[in-house]
Amino acid sequence: MSAIRTIASKHNPRLKQLRAALLKPSAHNDGLIALEGFHLVEEALASGVSIHTIFIAQGCETLLETLRLPTSIEILALPAPLLAASVTTESPQPIAALVAPPAWKWPDLLRIASPLIVVLAGVQDPGNLGTILRSAEAFGASGAVLLPGTVSAWNPKSMRASAGSVFRLPTRAASIESCFQQLAAASIPAAAALAHHATPLLNAQFFSGPLAIVIGSEGAGVPPEIAARCDHAVTIPCPGPVESLNAAVAASILLYEAARQRGKTLP
């Protein structure tokens, strides 16, 4: 572990960089994103993510002992109130970090023989996005594509909800045109998740091969112009008096069914 340097000013350039990365995770910020909390920092390290700077509240330096940090990482200690004022959580943890996110390419999403890709078309709630990425990894998806209008995967709430999956599941942003061009070139059909007028899930037998599952926004669902590009449409019938499911719940159910049809080992 490298030496710990103490900072005490809110105007410190690194602290400013942390605040900017937390407030605007999609902005450039020198190519770095911000993490809050011990668990996310630990998951990032375990996943091989390159950590640039660690911020630790004074008096909590012992937290670093279990992380086995490379000597190349910059470590800054600062008063706990100063760190708390720089992060976004209501109950701040005493550790944060600036990291270089994985630079996933399309071949990373297509790396397996029968790709299963989740396409997010306007999912705006960061908690939903993170949950979908977590379910995607859990049920063997090969990657996720974020279309315009979808919240950043590096939003702090998205990362927390993903429980570390955002560091391991190949995920990239793409335009609608680029996404469907890539799917067509790889012979991957797409299935739009719709609330009505679609194949009931129990009758949908197209989950066993290569597939892109398209999940729409929480309010409007999959836009008609995107649904029209899809090869299939699937719905999850709800016998109760509920018009539609939460985007993350629907995605998780569809991913489970994909894993079942694809013969994944399920408990």
CA-to-CA distance for 156 and 185, rounded, in angstroms?
33
Q: What is the pLDDT of residue 240?
A: 82
Question: Helix H segments across 61-175?
Answer: 80-86, 106-109, 126-138, 156-162, 165-168
Pair of tokens at residue 203: 């009758």
* Band (220; pLDDT cuts 50, 70, 90): confident
Give the lowest-confidence range in 100-109, 218-227, 241-250: 241-250
Longest CA–CA separation in the chain, Å: 62
Domain ranges, ordered by start, for the chain: 4-100, 106-261
Whether the pLDDT of residue 28 is over 60: the answer is no
Domains 4-100 and 106-261 agree in fold = no
* Band (55; pLDDT cuts 50, 70, 90): very high
* Band (117; pLDDT cuts 50, 70, 90): very high
Q: What is the pLDDT of residue 1?
A: 67
Whether the pLDDT of residue 71 is over 90: the answer is no
Topology (CATH level 3) of domain 4-100? 60s Ribosomal Protein L30; Chain: A; (3.30.1330)
CATH architecture of 106-261: 3-Layer(aba) Sandwich (3.40)
* Band (267; pLDDT cuts 50, 70, 90): very low
